Structure 1
Amino acid sequence: MKRLFRFWMPRLKSDLIVNQTLLTNAGFLTVAAAASALMGFLFWVWTARILPPERQGLAAATISVMNLIAFCGEFSLGTLLMGRPDSGRGVYGLITAAILCGVLTSLAVGCIFIGCSSWLSPQLQSMLSSHSLVFLTGVVATAIAITADGAAIGLLASWARMVREIVFSLLRLLLLFLVLSYSLAPQASAIVSVWIAALVASLGCILVYTVYHRELLAWPDFAGLRTYAADIFGHHILNLGALGPSIALPFLVTVVLSPTVNAVFYAAWMLLQAAMLVPAAVGTALFATSSSDPDTAAQRLRFSLGLSAAFGILGGLACYLFLKPILGFFNPRYPEIAGAGLDWLGFSLLPTMIKYHYIAVMRLQRRMTTAALMMFAGALIEVVAVVVGGLSGGLFGLTALWLVAVTLQSLMQLPAIINAAGWNLRFGPPVAQS
């Protein structure tokens, strides 16, 4: 035992020193995501205990589609900034230009979506048409948050995202308390408005900080941003394929099944995202830190894979064992509505963890076209699996086919990750880095 301790301790110490920047920024991102998950859990438990499942599911679906439109309209400008760790004066003009472009493009996509929403479920269509101004405000605010968070991570100042997420999470609960003080059974639109108001206020805090530190203010550098047009397109196609289905899934459940089923699915989906906190944060920080120090990318990748796999396995088992009791804590009706459909949802954590690392590896290797084609094809397969599974087998069929789809994707992506980590396909010792 002592010999093993003496052998592993120097290696562990060396890994911690090399990965200090990765761990620090991943730590900030993990705290941010943990605060969002914990406060979000309280937020949705609170509303689930007061609202009927149909209203709860409609509110969750509206927020889901709001996030999806902002994600599509922001054009992955935050991801571009995330890969630019330069903290020189010139980068601030690029950030300003990216935020302004994200505002305009997300607003345009939001308006187009509302104009073409006749194919949606009647409840969701009514929500969007009668509260279009509030909805568009949420789309634009979400797009600004995505871009600003990406810029903070790229500057290795992930603490800024952590602060914004904590403010956003706390304000959601405070505003919900105020709303429930006047109405014990608010409409779904009130829940969506609370969410958007808290988001706008959290962005206001970041704006105040930026104005106070005037060196962060810069005239927008649109000419500089245009030079990255190819990278922006590559990042966006890759993001659409990689993250689009997971953002759209609660919305698809509402359209394919019903708002009532989505209330249960959204609660389980939120728990699953909480279980992905550490793998997602480490994978995001891996891209940002390895962009600034490519020589240690393979070592960082091996460290990140081990850490993420451990959390993925533990999180999957926890979701399988405790999902039903937790759903019952949300609302006594939820386990009955869920049936056996969501029992295996947690086992998507490992395939999703592989996807996060595949994206980081392909971006670092500037192979975004190859990655985008694979991820986009995978996204189409996921959407088809959700629709076919939901229509033919309800919630159980939807979950099962989606899990098969993401698992097949991860098996296709694994060889590229193994190669980038310096392992051979027989899982031998790491290859020495030149």
Structure 2
Amino acid sequence: MTATAIGRARSSRVLQGSAWILIGLGIQALLGFLFWLLGSRVATSDELGQASALFTAIQFVNYASGLGLTIALARHATRRNAESDALFGWAVAATVVSSVIGGVAYLALVDTSATRLVTGSPGGWLLFSAYTAGTSIGLLVDVRLMAARRWGWLVARLAFIGLIRLPLVVLPVSIDPALWLYNLMLAPAALVAVLTIPVLHWIGAGSISWHRPQTLGSVARYAGVNWVATLSSQAPQFILPLVVAQSVRPSVNASFFLAWTVTGLVFLVPAAIAQVLLVEGGKDADGHDSEADAAGLDLLEGDDPASSAAEGSSAAVVSTVTAEGRAKEALAFSLGLATVAWLASLAIGPLFAHVFGPGYHRLGRLLPSLMVAGIPWAITSIRLSEARIRRDQVATVAITLTLGLGILLPTLLFVPDGGTLAATRAWVFGNVAGAVVAIAVHHRAMRASARALVPD
């Protein structure tokens, strides 16, 4: 049985892709930790805080101005053909425009000690916008690498970005240490993303084209729906810690921030697995669409209608079985990792509290309380990808709105008075509610699919 399971894992593209993603995230987390550790040696805590605040700001702008493009490419631009290349090109153009607008709007509206570091000169505004656009392009490039299954290149890109920063951190420079760390954190990522585009063709991961895509209208609508869904589902990741910071003492918020950072990294794992499933599932769905079109063409050319219908039905059954198999693999893998992570947090939380000292004793409770939400999130992320593969916009919006509102409403109502305890409860409640809705819409879709396959 073990040999069979190992053989199935080796042959599963979803599990292989997920394993590569985990390697990339691990390398990224390690090199990021080393970067900030070295940064603490050349900058004060205030300067380090300003640099990290600017980095967080660009992440926020990327989230708010993403337009749903990564999801649209993962679903509709997985082939190495002219249409996929054109969709990629227009997505790059759209993300540059939205990133520049979002970056400028953020700097114009937010006035903090961190933003004042870059708003003092036109060059500062330009660099901030360029970094925002470059990091957004990097997300699109990663989707192309995933679609082409160039996993080694994807991991190498992340590793190169992290490694090139480290020796530069300790260089003696004459500029503000906060600005130096800010530029070091973002410039390599933005530059490597742009330089990777011409390399895509060379490594067999497609190319870029500026021709108008034939499916532009339908893909734009799909991206828009998923952009709204992403805004609602990911809003808690930005609003919840902000409300906590404004509601509790700084010493309490320090423990929450550390626990929240670790939780956010772990939550990326099911999201990455779901992204791989979306890419592979999109290929399955596109293949089924092609076979259905071929069956229709045979019918127009005079082939036996019963034979053509049977071929189309057979293709649909094979596609459905393949999609269900991939989803089951992804769900089992994601759930297993989330459960292991939560169990590990039961020991790691108190350990972190001991290492950081008496002022961080809340870590022992906060980390497991936040991490347990990873189990329902593992279910939600996979079922959400399945809904996107089916182009089920109602299910997509239902899942993401439930997840977002299930966290935001309790956060706004109870965290100002209840502090971190209310925050962890809101986090868990929203994720459980999202999982319940995700399971419900999945069962509804499976029943509808089963009825469609039963001949009249």
- TM-score of the two chains, using structure 2 as the length reference: 0.77
Asked if 1 retains the 8 angstrom alpha-carbon contact of 2:260 and 2:367, the reply is no
Structure 2 match to 1:149: 142
Q: CA deviation at 1:33?
A: 1.4
**RMSD (Å) for aligned C-alpha atoms:** 3.6
The answer to whether the aligner puts 1:200 opposite 2:190 as a matched pair is yes
Q: Summarize the Cα distance change of 1:260–1:91 in structure 2 as closer, same or farther, 3 Å threshold.
A: farther
Residue segments in structure 2 that go unaligned for 5+ positions in a row: 286-318
Structure 2 match to 1:392: 417
The answer to whether the aligner puts 1:368 opposite 2:393 as a matched pair is yes
Structure 2 match to 1:275: 266
Structure 1 match to 2:68: 76
1:89 to 55, 64, 82: 82
Moved more, 161-170 or 306-315: 161-170
Task: Name the SS of the counterpart of 2:149 in structure 1.
Answer: coil
Residue segments in structure 1 that go unaligned for 5+ positions in a row: 423-429
The answer to whether the aligner puts 1:300 opposite 2:326 as a matched pair is yes
**Distance in 1, Cα, partners of 2:139 & 2:114:** 24
Structure 1 match to 2:94: 101
The answer to whether the aligner puts 1:191 opposite 2:181 as a matched pair is yes
The answer to whether the aligner puts 1:284 opposite 2:275 as a matched pair is yes
The answer to whether the aligner puts 1:406 opposite 2:431 as a matched pair is yes
Structure 2 match to 1:350: 375
Q: CA deviation at 1:24?
A: 2.6
**Distance in 1, Cα, partners of 2:252 & 2:45:** 8
Asked if 1 retains the 8 angstrom alpha-carbon contact of 2:148 and 2:205, the reply is no
Moved more, 129-138 or 225-234: 129-138
Q: CA deviation at 1:362?
A: 0.9
Structure 1 match to 2:295: none
* Identical-pair percentage: 18
Q: CA deviation at 1:212?
A: 5.7
The answer to whether the aligner puts 1:323 opposite 2:329 as a matched pair is no
Asked if 1 retains the 8 angstrom alpha-carbon contact of 2:24 and 2:155, the reply is yes
**Distance in 2, Cα, partners of 1:137 & 1:261:** 36
**Distance in 2, Cα, partners of 1:243 & 1:68:** 10
- Which deviations, in whole Å up to 9, do the C-alpha atoms of 1:66-106 show, x marking residues without a partner? 11211221212121111132111332122112111110111
Q: Summarize the Cα distance change of 1:173–1:253 in structure 2 as closer, same or farther, 3 Å threshold.
A: farther
**Distance in 2, Cα, partners of 1:380 & 1:258:** 26
- Report the number of matched residues: 411
Q: CA deviation at 1:350?
A: 0.7
- TM-score of the two chains, using structure 1 as the length reference: 0.80
Structure 2 match to 1:209: 199
Moved more, 401-410 or 96-105: 401-410
**Distance in 2, Cα, partners of 1:182 & 1:148:** 32
- Which deviations, in whole Å up to 9, do the C-alpha atoms of 1:130-163 show, x marking residues without a partner? 4544432321122111222223223333443322
Structure 2 match to 1:176: 169
Q: Summarize the Cα distance change of 1:380–1:71 in structure 2 as closer, same or farther, 3 Å threshold.
A: same
Task: Name the SS of the counterpart of 1:366 in structure 2.
Answer: coil
**Distance in 2, Cα, partners of 1:391 & 1:325:** 28
Greater relative CO (CA pairs within 8 A, separation 6+): 1
Q: Summarize the Cα distance change of 1:215–1:164 in structure 2 as closer, same or farther, 3 Å threshold.
A: closer
**Distance in 2, Cα, partners of 1:251 & 1:132:** 25
**Distance in 2, Cα, partners of 1:249 & 1:137:** 28
Q: Summarize the Cα distance change of 1:142–1:369 in structure 2 as closer, same or farther, 3 Å threshold.
A: farther
The answer to whether the aligner puts 1:219 opposite 2:209 as a matched pair is yes
